[in-house]
Structure 1
Amino acid sequence: MDFKGRTADLDLLDGQLNQVVTRTGATLGRAVIVTGRRRVGKSRLVQEFSDRSGLPYFVFQATRGRNPAGERADFLDALARSPLPGAELVAGISVADWNQALRTLAIALPDDRASIVVIDEVPWLVEQDSEFEGALQTVWDRHLSAKPVLLLLVGSDISVMEALQSHGRPFFGRATKMTVAPLNLADVQTMTELPAAAAVDALLITGGFPEIVQSWRPGMSRPEFLRDATTNPLSPLLVAGELTLLGEFPEASRSRAVLEAIGTGDRTFGTIAAAAGSSGTLPSGTLTPLLNTLQAKRIVATDLPLSTKSDSKNKRYRIADSYLRFWLAFLQRGIPLIERGRGDLALERIERSWTTWRGRAVEPVIREALLRLLPDDRWPETEAVGGWWNRQNNPELDLIGADREPVAGAVHFVGSIKWLEDRPFDRHDYDALARGVLAVPGTEFDTPLVAVSRSGVQGELPLASCWGPEDLLRAWQ
């Protein structure tokens, strides 16, 4: 399958490799920690990068739960079969630990030209053998960094990968970090060949995960795509969600219950605790560490009201990527129907709630797009975009533009999102927005009002700015 998108990611890796090729870094070797959500395309990206480089490279992918001795044996076997110039020198070697295994890698690397080494699923190696990190640090300092090699350490457990370079850990200060995000709106639009508004729908459903986006045939409408997916139990749209969760949580756990509560619409600590408890409300002492872990893994995100007044306890929780949110809301319950040939019922459930679900799911995408468009000439000091709500969610305002977050020094605008196919932002929407403005700490009677609308604005409403689907797309182009 053709490799599409990821131009910026490939350019970042090319920049690191160029320092190795030109020998302009502090050491001959360069190390990069490559992380990102599971199934976001990290392995495919580094494989494509290695293939395009034209240089000798070695790729090793760890296996979860493997015996450390067996893992090292596989590492040496793959090394001996690799196209590295010194591969034949290490054939038949046996080692007792990772220190010896990584020193053997150094033997196989060339001295006179650049090469690439990829070690994939590093968290599983750390999990298997507590000595792996120390061995990596020792061999990097003494042997690998003296070779013209680009070492890519790849892993999906973001909390573990970030810990690798934290102060006090063996590999601290020896690598730069690169996060591989899902495909952005412009990439999704290019691959699906859809108009801007429809491409936003495609992004919300697929989350920008490459294998799902690639299953969306160019020009296919949202109903057509969902109809195809809900008639095929093996479609990537259905399968990827369960595989993602199994990769993060291989066994049934309370974390899964918490995720399912958030994914089906519970946003506050109290409602999540009530929904996730198997027999009564989940205690705070249990739920708090679960939420902290899910946030550390970047699976759950939190939002705080943005204004000039701190409100750090008024959090709202959401699933960080829209695909998993869509899967938890609609597809998890629909899979049994689809497997017995009643995908039509699953599709009906989606269609009944689609507009409501999309109205909430599109908000983080819009805020992120505005952050890429701002500051601009109209809003030269706006560097934070969020929302605002009180404890009762009355009012709840979709857009707050400010100079900083989490507590603003000044509120620059207040706005509303109306993402409907059959109605523009109208006088009724404007009046509701105007009534809610003064509830936001830091606003005045003349605070500018803005809107984001899928279907434009009705009449001559006194809005300071209005953005539409094409503007969101432009933010990523």
Structure 2
Amino acid sequence: MLGSFVGRDDQLALLDRELELVRAGGQRPGRALLVRGRRRVGKSRLVEEFIARSGVPAVYFTASMQAPEEELRLFAAEVAASDLPGAAIYAELGPTTWDAALTVLATALPDDGPSIVVIDELPYLTGTDGALEGTLQKVFDRVLSRRPVLLIGVGSDLAMMEALNAYGRPFHQRAVEMVVPPLNPAEVAAMLDLPPADAFDAYLVTGGLPLVCQEWTPGAPLMQHLAQVLAVPTSALLVSGERALAAEFPGETQARRVLRTIGAGERTFTTIGQRAGGLQQASLNRSLSVLREKRVVAVDTPLSTRPSRESRYRVADPYLRFWLTFLGPHLAEVERGRGDRVLARIEASWSAWRGRAVEPVVRESLVRLPAEARAGTRGVVGGYWTRSNDPEIDLVVADREPVAGRIEAVGSIKWLDDAPFDQRDLAVLVTHRGQLPGAVADLPLVVVSRSGVAVDGVTAIGPADLLQAWGGRP
């Protein structure tokens, strides 16, 4: 095996099940699986580990955005160099089209047991060769599905990978889909040997990206870790953001400018357009559509019994949000050996930045908690605000979204060091509860606090409780 994994048991189990279905045989034993996930989330590493554990013959090809004929040549070279039983024969045939390459591939596969064929960065191929989807579908239906092979397509372009299996596309309903998520907060806590509150800090910085987490010395405090990696211009924490943006938006300079504006803290449509260079409404809409389609930006709307148009935009990935705020604008300083300046900015702004950045993570954590742990409520979790931010409510639990039929609870997030939720905070929350459309006077109050709760009459939730929502140790 290639090494230990943290938090990948579910994905490995799914891959094992697919291979067992191939092994079970039948008239059409061949199976197809489409694996998607954000860049640097560990998809390729996961599939390679699966192949190593399986012990069956395999070929692993990674596309690289080269000319179609060069991609085909590289694919043929990978097959010829693989441990497939017919690899030598395949090398002699030298197919010159993808139709021939995939059809002849069947002759290299074993007859008496399963094998695995992986095409990584599949969207690179389908994006440059419009006929490849149809070719893949034809060869899979006529040839590969009749052989004991697990065909795995891997891709980081989430929208394109979803589209491959969509209705009306050639490969529709031919593949099982699997999403490889980042490490969740509990997995980050286990990997980095951190207590619950510190684990959430680490999650906000790393986004749960395994490669970024691997740089962290287990048990190290946040600022100590940042001081170490900011002294290394090639650290994964520094370079992963720029590489992800270059890969996702190679020709979308305006979309990248809009993303950087959102990363800098702008949240409303109007202010984003103004700070991104005075973009016209149509241009801004196009950029935001690209960013949302690629799952890089999320949009939140106020949750209450009254419809609202006060949408707010945020960077969906915690790591990228941190990178855009603190690292991306100052890479030149790190390269000059002045990572200490970057660290000083982070230390000065950390508490305020963290308070806002942790909100979507807390809401997602609350959704995972059982009802008894959150005042007996079972609904969706969001927030509420008005254009003037009076009121602005961190937590709203309701029966449905985007417009609630019934409000079940309201709450507050106070994520400060050494500052528990106190009587003054409670007074503000009670006042805001009375201003929320659909709320009643005796609605339960839920408080999430990093440093504890110093009042009665509320459901108190701390970092350890949130970590348990993700499967962390009690």
Give the TM-score normalised by structure 2: 0.96
Out of 426, 450, 453, the residue aligned to residue 454 of structure 1 is 450
Equivalent residue, structure 2, for 1:2: 3
Displacement of 1:250: 2.5
Deviates more, 1:216-225 or 1:84-93: 84-93
Equivalent residue, structure 2, for 1:436: 432
Displacement of 1:252: 6.2
Please list, as runs of the form range in 1=range in 2, the aligned pairs for 1:317-466 lying within 5 A after superposition: 317-376=313-372, 382-458=378-454, 460-463=455-458, 465-466=459-460
Report the aligned-residue RMSD.
1.5
Equivalent residue, structure 2, for 1:301: 298
Please list, as runs of the form range in 1=range in 2, the aligned pairs for 1:39-438 lying within 5 A after superposition: 39-64=40-65, 66-251=66-251, 253-277=253-277, 281-311=278-308, 313-376=309-372, 382-438=378-434
2: distance between equivalents of 1:381 and 1:365?
18
Count of aligned pairs? 469
Equivalent residue, structure 1, for 2:19: 17
CA contact (8 A) 1:374 1:383 kept: no
Structure-2 change in CA distance of 1:62 and 1:36 (3 Å): same
2: distance between equivalents of 1:440 and 1:228?
46
CA contact (8 A) 1:98 1:131 kept: no
2: distance between equivalents of 1:406 and 1:16?
37
Displacement of 1:94: 2.4
- Residue 439 of structure 1: SS of its match in structure 2? coil
1: distance between equivalents of 2:4 and 2:317?
22
2: distance between equivalents of 1:301 and 1:3?
32
Out of 449, 454, 471, the residue aligned to residue 465 of structure 2 is 471
Give the TM-score normalised by structure 1: 0.95
Identity among equivalent pairs (%): 51
1: distance between equivalents of 2:373 and 2:428?
27
Deviates more, 1:432-441 or 1:254-263: 432-441
Q: Aligned partner of 1:462: which letter?
A: G
Displacement of 1:11: 1.6
- Residue 171 of structure 1: SS of its match in structure 2? coil
CA contact (8 A) 2:377 2:397 kept: no
Structure-2 change in CA distance of 1:261 and 1:80 (3 Å): same
- Residue 84 of structure 2: SS of its match in structure 1? coil
Deviates more, 1:414-423 or 1:90-99: 90-99
1: distance between equivalents of 2:184 and 2:433?
32
CA contact (8 A) 2:375 2:446 kept: no
2: distance between equivalents of 1:225 and 1:377?
33
Structure-2 change in CA distance of 1:93 and 1:383 (3 Å): farther
CA contact (8 A) 1:266 1:272 kept: yes
Structure-2 change in CA distance of 1:151 and 1:222 (3 Å): same
Q: Deviations over 1:60-85 (max 9, x none)?
A: 00011x11111111111110111112
Structure-2 change in CA distance of 1:377 and 1:259 (3 Å): closer
Displacement of 1:23: 3.5
1: distance between equivalents of 2:4 and 2:346?
31
Q: Deviations over 1:281-309 (max 9, x none)?
A: 21111111211111111111111111122
Q: Aligned partner of 1:23: which letter?
A: G
Q: Deviations over 1:87-137 (max 9, x none)?
A: 122122222321111102222112221111110001110122111101000
1: distance between equivalents of 2:426 and 2:375?
20
- Residue 407 of structure 1: SS of its match in structure 2? coil
- Residue 167 of structure 1: SS of its match in structure 2? coil
1: distance between equivalents of 2:284 and 2:105?
44
1: distance between equivalents of 2:10 and 2:158?
20
Query: Which runs of no fewer than 5 residues in structure 1 stay unpaired?
Result: none
1: distance between equivalents of 2:203 and 2:179?
19
- Residue 93 of structure 2: SS of its match in structure 1? coil
- Residue 434 of structure 2: SS of its match in structure 1? helix
Q: Deviations over 1:160-182 (max 9, x none)?
A: 11111111111111112111111
- Residue 166 of structure 1: SS of its match in structure 2? coil
Deviates more, 1:415-424 or 1:405-414: 405-414
